[in-house]
Structure 1
Amino acid sequence: MSTVQPVCKGCGQAIWGNYLRALGATWHPEHFLCAGCGQAIQGTSFQVHQGSPYHVECYRRQIAPHCVYCDKPLMGEYLVDYWGQKFCREHEKQFAHCAYCGRLVSPEQQESGAQAVRCPICRSTAIETSSEAKPLFSHVIRWMNAQGLMYNNLKLSLDLCGRAHLADLLREGNVGHSLGATTSAMYTQNGRLVRTEINGIAVLQGLPAILFQGVTVHELGHVWLIVAGAHDLPPWAEEGFCELLSYRYYVEANTPESRYHSTSKERNPDPIYGEGFRRMRQLSDRVGFPRLIESLRTTGNLPVVRG
């Protein structure tokens, strides 16, 4: 009765005597070599990278990714954020998240006295003054016009405001969400709306530039709906339409940050903003964006889809 002699994967020769099993193969002990230093791996502890074995220390020095926050080699389980940044699991609970991009912000990176946590990247493009906001506001208006949204010579104004003032505007019943508001006054007579006076839009101070633009697009969407006379849309349709505009702006910008915000809209679980956006996007895809705009402009309502 014959037995099959094990063959060393390292040298391709039959093994007579001691051998070891690793990585689904058999090896002469002296031929099970570290891909990092070329020396034999003694004992049972080793790391594998792209199918090759490494001494634990060689893997740590040459292969292991390092935590983006503490620079520690990541030898076991670790986390990866939306941006592809790798970091130690424990930092997820130790550090705050940036309010605008979701990146972790270590204590030494945080601003003292800030009302919202901002990472250095978002802080680097933050719109803090009216002079910084003005050219972006003009660019957004031109973009809205190119989408077919005209404002009938309405004087459009922007108020760059703090959180307290924005919260006051929202409490007063103006349309908007936590980052912006559309300020207007509605005049009724005998229960009927007779006139709507638009005061302008307000956007939170300190937003990173691309988010500032996306919020501005959203709020100008509300202004356009008022100008077009689309007063009777359900909340999901009105907010969904404005979110669709903002989404289209982000997609066209096509930067890493704009893609983050467009993806956030796609995944938003909110029944008004998230589900409203998805319903309006589906409607736009079905009838075409120009027809959606034309229906809102001429009838004040969404287009009728048959069949």
Structure 2
Amino acid sequence: MPDLICALCEKVIEGQVLTALEKTYHPNCFVCTECKKPITGGLFQIKDDKPYCQDDYAQLFAPKCYACNKPITDRIINALGHTWHQDHFICALCKVPIVGQNFIERDGRAVCQKCFEEKIADKCKACGKPVVDKIIVALDAKWHADCFKCKKCDKPITQQMFQVEDGFPICAVCATKSSE
């Protein structure tokens, strides 16, 4: 049987042999490409057929979190054109993590649905609740489609023509009755 030669120091290996990347090494010769320290415990990463310890691989090649600028070695959140640790992708207002929730981008920052509705969204002139879906803009205000109704008969205004009384719409039928 031929002698085993270490791929790093090119000396004959006597005693323990470490096999990795289809080569043989003395255990202390199998080192990280970056820090040159022996890779122990069998955990390493490969980049361009070169071994790296876990820490150096993360520092050199893992995506960085936009919030803390540290490597992301577990679940990566891609949002707002950046990568984040899942605990660092938080609502800009309440600071609660928003992974798995709907959010709204506001000035380049994420805002959770709850904060958006409570603190940012326009409020309906009729009911005062946030308007986040279909919206009607009329009379210098925003309205839910279901809330934009006649002040007198309470029916939805579906025609483009309507009258105004005290800042609220009146349908053409009620406006005609009032003028008679």
TM-score bin (small chain) = 0.3 to 0.5
TM-score (norm 1): 0.31
TM-score by length of 2: 0.47
Tell me which of the two structures has the higher relative contact order, counting C-alpha pairs closer than 8 angstroms and 6 or more residues apart.
1
Give 1 or 2: higher helix fraction: 1
Which is greater in Rg?
A: 2
The structure with the greater share of residues assigned to strand is 2
